[in-house]
Structure 1
Amino acid sequence: MRQIQTAVLGGADSEEPLMLPLEAIELDAFRHRHEDDTFWCGLLLGGCGLQLTTKLYTDRVCHFAHHPGPDGRPHLCGRRARGVNSADHLYVKSAAAAWLRDRDLPADFEFIQPDGAPIGSVMDIKLPRGGLRVHLDQAVPPAWDHEGREPVLGVSVPVDRDTLIDRWYVHRIRLDSDGTARTVRIGTEAFARETEWFALDDCEMTVRGLSTPAVEQIVRSRSTRPVSQWGLAKARKAPDARARAQVLLRKLTDAMRVGSVFVVTQVRRDIAILTGVEGKLQDRLAAAAADAERWLEDQIQVRQELFSRLEEALAARDTVQIRQLLARVNATASHDRTPTEITIVDVAAGYLAEQQQAYAEQLQAQAAAKLAEQQDARARRAADRVRTLLATLQRRGDTGSPKVMRKLVRDLLHAASDAGDRVEVDQQEQIGIWKTRADIGRPPGQTARTAPAPGAPQTVRHQQVARRYWIKKNCPRCGAAAGKNCVTNARTGTGPVSKSPHYERIAPILADRQAKADRRRREPGAYDIACPDCGRPPGAPCASPSGGVHRSRAERAREANR
């Protein structure tokens, strides 16, 4: 079965997708970056909703994997889509939501599943006026006449020639990998033209729907007869006047529908110079030209009112109105602007840029405040944890399992680190004592048998010293006098009597023993030097008939110890 390359962050219902790096060299950085995150086989990915882990390999691609089941056997997941593109619908939703939010366009998103299609094949984006239907694969054929839903097709979804001719253009969508994310690109495809691709930020929602920089060019090109690609010897027969008239009438209707002043002007001019048409068709052309004239006059008034409303919105500093009106101005009145209109547009664009910057700063301040609040809450919880662990260790004393004690101390150190300056001075002192007693923080290379530096942590076990030795000493920690056992509450010198002594009571005895052992190791014996009689090296026995050490070797060792 194909390995899992995508997951979601935080939980089974999450909509935040993530792609795992394929190479081992990149996975280490990925794990460090997401060390506090959890990965899930998301329900919106068609997954089982269980948590995932990362698998690192050097001889094949890295991937996500399920944890084994309770019986230790591999978990069986029915998720079908597992490749790098299996979370594309979540990336599209995230990118589209941010894009529409920047344009103050509220939208609802829905992953529909007509006829049982896999989740993620089709996504509806519902806007106050109209919307988009995104087809990421061929599971559901696009409905071109669906009211209010303009199709946007994945690169694998086919489109026939007649559709391209009738609709002038169709929109495409693709996703490119960018590290552990996917970037959305929008394409415009037209008949006899290569698909042109644009970043999502280069696109706009207009009265005619989704628009890219290529759309206006395609609309304009429809008003101009294409240059013949045939030589004089193969000149095609020009369409007759009636066919030309039908094309002009259809083009005029489409141009007026999408609000293209430029195209309407061009088509009206072509109708005026068209010859060879008579009868009712001539009457239709004349009526269409008159309608176009009135429409253009109305557009002049609409244009003036549009810029006037934009000026009023700027005076009132109505950000929502300014954004909406500027989008309409750019979509319907981008040509032949007067100096006054250019100034109004520049002021509006500058104002929106300032508002966007202020909004971004506000979001940053809110995020910083929320982070500070979360850190403060975390520190409070950690401080409570410090108090609980100290009380637990105090009750246990030196009894119980040393392994359990060291685990409690490690938890204590982590909690104290998270608590920061909320740890009180006396708590810090107790933490230091427990850290030493648990033998945590020993310098690298130092073992329990080497003499530690003054103040360095050391291994202490009450079993190493018999009671008859430590009972003769006073306990510097709980204050127990010679001949008395230690008590559990070392801070007050009270509490139940402990069968085991505090480590401070044993430490001097162990230190004295260690010093004596060190002195003994520093004094060489007879076998620590070479034998002057038989020439045997240090550590090797002498070659004497009796098997003992030669006298000269023993004498030299004694001289070395003087």
Structure 2
Amino acid sequence: MRGDRRQIQTAVLGSADSEEPLLLPLEAIELDAFRRRHQRDTFWCGLLLGGCGAQLTTKLYTDRVCHFAHYPGPDGHPHLCGRSARGVASADHLYVKAAADAWLRDRDTQAGFDFVQPDGVPIGSIVDIQLPHKKLRVHLDREVEPDWDAEHEPVLGVSVPVDSDTLIRRWYVHRIRLDSEGTARRVRIGTEAFARPTEWFALNECEITDRGLSTPAVERIVQARSASPSTRWTPGQKQEESAQDVQAHELMRRVLYARRTESTDLAEEVCREITELSGVSPQLQRQLDAAWRNALAWMKKETEARRELFAHLNQAVAGQKTRSIKTLLTEIKTATRDGRSEEEEHTLREAAASLAALEAAKLACLDTLLEDISRLPANEDPWRLRSEAEQLFHAATEVGKIGRHRRAQLNLWRTRLRYLPSKPRPAPPSRPQERVPLHQQVGRAYWTTRPCPLCGADRGQQCVFDGGPRVGRVREVPHADRLQPVVDELQEHQKKQGTVRTVWRAYDVPCPHCGQEAGAWCLTPGEPHSTRSKEARRLNEQQEPRL
């Protein structure tokens, strides 16, 4: 089984079989306070989360979201875990049980809870709540289709669909959602009815009645459906409506349709027609006025939300946040599908152009890093190889589509990185001394005596990073291409003086096994061939000078 590299946002406290869920803060500043608050607690990949039961630790990052992580295995390799749900909502079933249990205890009501898995669905999809005279089945996702004719009452998550016929037949259905508040998730209950928006309530505003779960909206719906109409049709009496009343009914129907289709343009047109309509019966005029006020309030809310989306988009463009720009562009195009103003179209075009420029720059940075790391010799210092490769992988995560050729190069370096030591290990006394880095072979006064061919630094100027997230910042040591000519001159001088004695490494000699030239990798994913290493040792024993 391959390791799952998705970020883990939820865990349980205390032990692997704990039912106490915990949500990790995403920001580094919040994680510091979280660690202080839980410095004596342990975090686990809980069995009730579908996890492996192993202990977790917290990972703090400033350039991406913080998350839980498994401790590495005894061999130093990443821990393998088959947990399928790892996001913010992966512990919602535990939050639902905890909230429902506390709510029912406040009402002196005992209940049983079960995380059933019909037909082998993942744990957490369904929570069964057995009340004394009623059973609730909470569907948190779409894995199991609700059964409206069973003995239990379904409560649907926000992503679970319900058809209009069911809403008409049952009068209403209940929904559930969980909102993140700090390191917890708060439960809210909603009531949805036909041609009515879902109304949401805190759990302490709900009650358990003979009908089952009840909210303030249920009371209003039942009262409205049960009340006798003010007028009834009787045989022999012809009920006629004026043309204005017929038009009023049509306008109210169009208001409802505009809200269902989220069309503010249609709603604005209908509101204008309502203000121009006169001669409607008094009772119908009151209903028409209420529909007009509700439509205006809805349009105002939609306009503010639309303006806020564009404000967030401008902030993301100013901050050069590629992922935020991409997400907001998709949301805005969906929210404004019924039409956009010229100013809004201009904003979208500017954001799309900025996104394309940012992605092109990041792709160019990735190409530069790939070129730099490919120019490193095979016998380069392993710690530098690991550092350069990790910088390369981080740059790749910032690019959307990298192409097949670049992906193949990244996969090759991931394979090579597995065979590099993860921790510094001192060489045994019998082995030859490791190669000294270039910047340690030259005095600091000679570092800037030549221009740098990579970053363009002039004589007397320090080298700078020419790619990656630290582009433009001063490097601690110069580029190798700048130091190598200085080292070559120094070694040539030492040879003339007869004071040089160098050490042969495996990649300094051609490979007798696969025929690779000196400085080139062997045709293996890991260590060089043993015959190549033996040849290097032979030259060291004979103290052969390197040319």
Which interval holds the TM-score relative to the shorter structure?
0.3 to 0.5
